[in-house]
Chains A and B, each alone.
Chain A
Amino acid sequence: DAGITQSPRHKVTETGTPVTLRCHQTENHRYMYWYRQDPGHGLRLIHYSYGVKDTDKGEVSDGYSVSRSKTEDFLLTLESATSSQTSVYFCAISVVGTYEQYFGPGTRLTVT
């Protein structure tokens, strides 16, 4: 599992509140990703990081921001949560040079 953890694993929050999800890895991988998974859409990339303080947008980045101040942590923030952001969020890492990708256990977020 490449030592990937996500916190929290489940969260229920109200519309308009800020939410931060954390992805933590223990193996010093350079590339980290945040995906969301929704019925009918599959997995879609929100943001990714290619190093400390180096991030870029994915295909569904509106309403989300990310930060990476340490190699091991990649944070996803919903500044003002909306019901459309109810989803399961997966963090992942890539092993440079191999194309292997490993996923965290997921965070189920419900926005009421």
Chain B
Amino acid sequence: KNEVEQSPQNLTAQEGEFITINCSYSVGISALHWLQQHPGGGIVSLFMLSSGKKKHGRLIATINIQEKHSSLHITASHPRDSAVYICAVNSGGSNYKLTFGKGTLLTVNP
């Protein structure tokens, strides 16, 4: 079993819909990251969080440490949000290594 599990693997939405992507992890963590990768593109950090909730524009990330679960929400989705969203965790230690989920491919249709 992967240490970081994401769901769903694929998600198709209509423009304007509210989107939720989930991430569950099985290890203790120091931080959880949400990353975005557009097709053929580089990897961009959206959020890094260790507790609570963060918001940036239409994107909201939450984490529940006790339940080992995080969610990424996108409000009023837009076709430009179409990308792969990747959850990753730092599971402690001094090397800052990340363990990644396999990603969620989001397609937002106009």
Question: Chain A residues in contact with chain B, CB under 8 A?
Answer: 31, 33, 40-45, 48, 50, 56, 58, 90, 92, 94, 96, 99-106
Contact with A along B88-110 (1 / 0, CB 8 A): 10100011111011110000000
Closest to B102 in A: A42
Listed from nearest, the 4 A-B pairs whose CB atoms lie closest are A94-B96, A99-B31, A42-B102, A103-B43
Seen from chain B, the residues whose Cβ lies within 8 Å of a Cβ on chain A are: 30-31, 33, 35, 42-45, 48, 50, 86, 88, 90, 94-98, 100-103
Q: Looking at the complex, which one of B31, B44, B50, B95 makes contact with A48 (CB distance below 8 Å)?
A: B95
Does A48 lie within 8 Å of B100, measured CB to CB? no
Q: Is chain A's binding surface mostly helix, strand, loop or mixed?
A: strand
Give the Cβ gap from B59 to chain A, nearest Cβ, in Å.
17
Contact B43 A41 (CB under 8 A): no
**Interchain CA distance A43-B33 in the complex, whole Å:** 13
Decide yes or no: A42 and B86 within 8 Å by CB, A99-B30, A100-B45, A101-B45 being known contacts: yes
Q: Which residues of B contact A106 (CB under 8 A)?
A: 42-43
Q: Which of B30, B88, B100, B101 has the most CB of A within 10 A?
A: B100
Q: How many A-B residue pairs have CB under 8 A?
A: 54
Pairwise interchain contact A99-B48, C-beta atoms closer than 8 A: yes
Main secondary structure of the interface of B (DSSP, over half): strand
Cα A94 to Cα B94 in complex, Å, equals 11
Q: Is the CB of A45 within 8 A of B96?
A: no
| B33–A101 CB distance below 8 A | yes
Residue of A nearest to B32 (CB): A99
Q: Are A50 and B95 in contact (CB under 8 A)?
A: yes
Q: Which residues of B contact A42 (CB under 8 A)?
A: 86, 100-103
Once the chains are docked, how many angstroms separate the CA of A102 from the CA of B44? Answer: 7
**Residues of chain A within 8 A of B97, CB atoms compared:** 33, 45, 48, 58
Q: Are B96 and A40 in contact (CB under 8 A)?
A: no
A66 to B101, CA, bound (A): 25
Residues of B within 8 Å of A94, CB to CB, are 96
